[in-house]
Amino acid sequence: MDNVTGERLKVKRDSSWILDNIVTIIFVVFIVFGFIVSRGVSVNFFLNELTSRIFRNSFLVLSLIIPVLAGLGLNFGIVIGAMAGQIAIAIVRYFGLGGMSNLLLCFAIAFPFAALFGYFAGLLYNKTRGQEMIAGLIVGYFANGIYQFLFLFTVGKIIKVNPTHPMINPSGIGIRMTVDLVPVAEGGLKYALDNIAKIPFMWAVLIVAVSILALIIVKNLKSKNTKKDLMFFVNIALCILMIGISVFAIATNNSLMLVNEVPVVTALLIVALCVFNELIIKTKLGQDFRSVGQNQHIAEVQGINVDRTRIIATIMSTVLAAWGQIIFLQNMGTLNTYNAHTQIGMFSVASLLVGGASTSKANIKHAMIGTILFNAMFIMSPEIGQAMFGNALLGEYFRTFMVYGVIGLALGLYVWRQNKKLVNKLDE
């Protein structure tokens, strides 16, 4: 076989690095710009806000990865998962339960609800092939109606409740707009997870930086590819820089040590979800997700049950979102009964896209970088509005613009790139 040599053709690049990462770059530039114009923002304030937001939101963003792998696109339907989480919290709070063990009870109660909702969403996605994202969005709105009916009317009218319970409206029908989750010290759910253990922020940075460094080096030693690219060294340098800063801060006990402490258990849960996402890819099920995600027809021909695989992916995502919402709420401390879930679909999807993901590609790195940048934007927008126009509210509006803008831009770029690939084929 003379012609079939081992020559490896270079995969042709369809677009440049800048275009591939344009969304991420816009955000980085925006945040840096914010720091330059608004001199009022102290580093400590920024880091305080950022860390609490990251621990609140990461789990939700990570729950979006599996559906992307399975080719369902960005699952806007995690909103129904969030509702399942809120139903669980409402039940637990109604009976005045609290503390760590009852937070676990929340997880357990949310599971069957979320799995059932996810199953229905999965059925719908199979019927609306190619339009899963818009279907997910509409399912969210539709489910919101049912949710309101349940919480505003059924509770009190059909399900008998104690009309004088602090959660219930004074009329005895429906649940109040806001429900106080009560700090864990007083037997509630607020900080039930976060307060188990806390460590100073700079220690956390040190641990994270060291573990990422170790991970990079181990990965590199394992792979046979001896050629190291530029990013490898940049990553190592960044890790060493972070280690240096944290060690310096700890040693000199400077102002950075005043940043709020970070919750260890929440962090561990997020890490656990990352590990879960990584491990699931390495199983038969994960391989099926990827096969189905890349080409449903080929997967079908090779005997993979495509519909079932897609439903499993949706269920997993919905359940994870339910748990993510519980983690979110225990940190917030209040349940905004009718609003808490409405935005999480949009915000989580935007976060993932900011990290460089697309409708067909998403990984943990995208989710984590995206969560950091997206929330940094959230913190900086009002500051920029204040500094530039003397009005923080303008920044608020700008936020909304950025959220929807980023989703639109990322989706548009994705389609544009697909079309470009087709045209490039002409030159082959």
Contacts of residue 366, defined as CB under 8 A and 6 or more positions apart, other chains included, come to 352, 355, 356, 357
Contacts of residue 404, defined as CB under 8 A and 6 or more positions apart, other chains included, come to 346
Whole-number Å distance between alpha carbons of 369 and 389:
29
Task: Note the residues at the interface with another protein (CB under 8 A).
Answer: 1-6, 8-12, 279, 282-288, 290-291, 294-295, 298-299, 301-304, 422-423, 425-426
Residue closer to another protein (CB basis): 194 or 288: 288
Whole-number Å distance between alpha carbons of 307 and 309:
5
Cα angle 322, 324, 329 (rounded to 5 degrees) comes to 95
Question: Least distance to another protein from the beta carbon of 422, Å?
Answer: 6
Whole-number Å distance between alpha carbons of 158 and 11:
63
Question: Least distance to another protein from the beta carbon of 388, Å?
Answer: 40
Residue ranges of alpha helices (H) inside 128-229 are 132-148, 155-157, 201-222
Residue closer to another protein (CB basis): 107 or 276: 276
Residue closer to another protein (CB basis): 69 or 402: 69
Q: How far is CA 63 from the centre of its chain?
A: 6
Instruction: Name the burial class of residue 214, with classes exposed (0-12), middle (13-18) and buried (19+) by CB atoms within 10 angstroms of its CB.
Output: exposed
Residue among 370, 363, 367, 369 at smallest CA distance from 290: 363
Question: Least distance to another protein from the beta carbon of 309, Å?
Answer: 9
Residue type, 149: F
What is the DSSP-derived secondary structure letter of residue 15?
A: S
Residue closer to another protein (CB basis): 312 or 368: 312
Whole-number Å distance between alpha carbons of 23 and 410:
7
Question: Least distance to another protein from the beta carbon of 141, Å?
Answer: 28
Residue closer to another protein (CB basis): 96 or 130: 130
Residue written as tokens 């818009």? Answer: 134
Question: Least distance to another protein from the beta carbon of 364, Å?
Answer: 18
Whole-number Å distance between alpha carbons of 161 and 320:
29
Residue closer to another protein (CB basis): 13 or 160: 13
Six-digit token string for 398: 């700008």
Question: Least distance to another protein from the beta carbon of 159, Å?
Answer: 34
Question: Least distance to another protein from the beta carbon of 222, Å?
Answer: 12
Residue closer to another protein (CB basis): 160 or 282: 282
Residue closer to another protein (CB basis): 159 or 426: 426
Question: Least distance to another protein from the beta carbon of 100, Å?
Answer: 25
Question: Least distance to another protein from the beta carbon of 285, Å?
Answer: 4
Whole-number Å distance between alpha carbons of 408 and 390:
29
Residue closer to another protein (CB basis): 159 or 422: 422
Run of H or E residues at 199: strand 198-199
